[in-house]
Amino acid sequence: MEVILREDVSNLGNRGDVVKVADGYGRNYLLPKQLAMEATPANKAVIDQMKAAAVRRSAKEKSEAEALVTQLNTVSLVFTRKVGEGDHLFGSVTSSDIAQELAGKGYTVDRRKVQLDEPLKSTGEFHVPVKLHREVTAHISVTVKGEEVAAE
pLDDT digits (tens, 9 = 90+) for 99-120: 999 999 888 888 888 988 888 8
How many structural domains is the chain composed of?
2
Query: Has residue 132 got a pLDDT over 70?
Result: yes
Sign, CA dihedral 63-64-65-68, equals positive
pTM of the model: 0.64
- For residue 105, being part of any structural domain is answered with yes
Give a yes or no: residue 65 inside a domain: no
Residue type, 130: V
| Tens-place pLDDT, residues 5-57 | 888 888 898 877 889 999 999 999 999 999 999 988 888 777 777 777 878 88
The conformation of residue 72, written as its DSSP 8-state character, comes to: H
Whether 121 is in a domain gets the answer yes
Nearest Cα to 9, choosing from 45, 46, 34? 34
3-state secondary structure at position 13: strand
Decide if 93 is inside a domain: yes
Predicted confidence band at 64 (pLDDT cuts at 50, 70, 90)? confident
**Coil vs helix vs strand at 3:** strand
- End-to-end CA, the chain: 60
Q: Is residue 44 part of a domain?
A: yes
User: What is the C-alpha separation between 140 and 127, in angstroms, rounded?
Assistant: 6
141 and 110 housed in the same domain: yes
Domain that residue 49 falls in? 2-60
Whether residue 4 contacts residue 17, with contact meaning beta carbons closer than 8 Å, is answered with yes
Residues 18 and 45 in one domain: yes
Nearest CA among 114, 116, 117, 123 for reference residue 91 = 123
